[in-house]
């Protein structure tokens, strides 16, 4: 691992030098490409420096511990050692993640699709809670959230909601969120205080660009219809809602949130492109994994990945046996508590498979 870091250190110096080259400065595409690489390499180099610094401090504290004769000082040194050991572990795990070959999709924006599953209105309310959780997490990251389509219930839940989340490395952070999310709590409508179990499915789709998928006009059937549900007076009066059917695959996408038929069509096409790209990726992954029994973390929407237990304030990710009792803060957007262990686990898994 350390030899790899030294190679990247040399590359970092090369890129830093190239960024000062007038020819590069005058080429916007080349400048943007090198700037991204410089940013990634800088994180590796700084993490490695911090890792080495922490290790040096740890050795110094161990020496001080053996030399000190003051009991109070020795106790302070022991506490510092524990902090440094934890810090070294965290930096080592992060460095391992940074050195893992990058998923080419990691830099992409995503389409977040949340659908209510079993549980009726309670499932729809849970879907709304999940959307708020991801939205608040996006705020902490400085990402932009744009709702593309909704199918709301009268009580404030969502049968379905689709949103585009754009920013730095969105897919990298959220790609392991796909699957079935289960909630255990007492619904507001439950008069006897019984705990109900409901579910919602989450799909994380990398945003597709024109070069990613080829959609031919002759393969599309586009229908217009009158929108329904919440959305203002324009619904039910104009045929602004759009339904697009991709004939070769049978995929159907609807969008009705905008007053403009043109805007609804553009949004629907964005969702369709993302679903087609995901379909291609799933087929490729299934082919590569055909000889493997273990496909945990594959992103299969039918896979139950997480349980949110309100009575015990517990959140459990079943794929990595991770449990936290900070459910309220996670639901308020502190999702790093859950995301980081997942990234660490699957990064280590990927390195073992190389």
The mean pLDDT value for 308-332 works out to: 95
CATH for 137? 3.30.70.1660
> Do 205 and 278 fall within a single domain?
no
Evaluate whether 91 touches 47 at the Cβ level (below 8 Å).
Answer: yes
* Cross-strand bridge partners of residue 201: 115, 180
What pLDDT score does 302 carry?
Answer: 55
Evaluate whether 22 touches 59 at the Cβ level (below 8 Å).
Answer: no
> Do 257 and 144 fall within a single domain?
no
What pLDDT score does 80 carry?
Answer: 95
Reported as a single tens digit per residue, the pLDDT across 132-169 is 999 999 999 999 999 988 999 998 999 999 999 999 88
CA distance 350 to 271: 29
Number of domains in the chain: 3
What pLDDT score does 180 carry?
Answer: 95
CATH for 275? 3.30.160.20
Structural domain including 13 reads 2-99
| Alpha-carbon distances of 85 from 72, 78, 95, 128, rounded to whole Å | 20, 11, 15, 40
In the chain, how long is the greatest CA-to-CA distance? Answer: 85
Percent of the chain with pLDDT over 90: 50
Give the range among 210-224, 283-297, 334-348 with minimum mean pLDDT: 283-297
Vertex 306 angle, CA 305 and 308, to 5°: 165
Q: Is residue 104 part of a domain?
A: no
Confidence category of residue 228, pLDDT binned at 50, 70, 90: low
Q: Is the pTM of this model over 0.85?
A: no
What pLDDT score does 208 carry?
Answer: 85
User: What mean pLDDT, rounded, does the chain reach?
Assistant: 86
């Amino acid at each position: 691992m350390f030899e790899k870091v030294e190679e990247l250190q040399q590359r970092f110096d090369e890129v830093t030098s190239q960024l000062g080259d007038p020819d590069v400065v005058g080429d916007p595409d080349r400048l943007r490409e090198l700037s991204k690489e410089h940013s990634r390499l800088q994180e590796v180099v700084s993490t490695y420096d911090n890792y080495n610094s922490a290790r040096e401090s740890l050795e110094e504290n161990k020496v001080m511990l053996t030399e000190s004769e003051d009991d109070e000082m020795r106790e302070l040194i022991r506490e510092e050692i524990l902090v440094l050991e934890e810090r070294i572990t965290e930096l080592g795990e992060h460095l391992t993640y940074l050195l893992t070959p990058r998923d080419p999709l990691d830099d992409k924006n995503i389409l977040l699709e949340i659908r209510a599953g079993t549980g009726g209105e309670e499932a729809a309310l849970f879907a709304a809670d999940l959307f708020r959780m991801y939205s608040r997490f996006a705020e902490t990251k400085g990402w932009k959230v744009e709702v593309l389509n909704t199918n709301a219930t009268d009580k404030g839940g969502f049968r379905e909601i689709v949103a585009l989340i754009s920013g730095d490395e969105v897919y990298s952070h959220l790609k392991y969120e796909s699957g079935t999310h289960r909630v255990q709590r007492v619904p507001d409508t439950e008069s006897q205080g019984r705990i109900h179990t409901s579910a919602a499915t989450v799909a994380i789709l990398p945003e597709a660009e024109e070069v990613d998928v080829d959609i031919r006009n002759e393969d599309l059937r586009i229908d217009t219809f009158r929108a329904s549900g919440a959305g203002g007076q324009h619904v039910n009066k104009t045929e602004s809602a759009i339904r697009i059917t991709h004939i070769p695959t049978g995929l159907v996408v609807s969008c009705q949130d905008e007053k403009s038929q043109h805007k609804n069509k553009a949004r629907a096409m964005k969702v369709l492109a993302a679903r087609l790209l995901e379909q291609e990726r799933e087929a490729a992954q299934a082919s590569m994994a055909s000889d493997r029994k273990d496909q945990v973390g594959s992103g299969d929407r039918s896979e139950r990945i997480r349980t949110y237990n309100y009575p015990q304030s517990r959140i459990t990710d079943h794929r990595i046996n991770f449990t936290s009792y900070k459910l309220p803060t996670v639901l308020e957007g502190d999702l790093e508590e859950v995301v980081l262990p997942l990234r660490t686990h699957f990064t280590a898994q990927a390195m073992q498979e190389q």
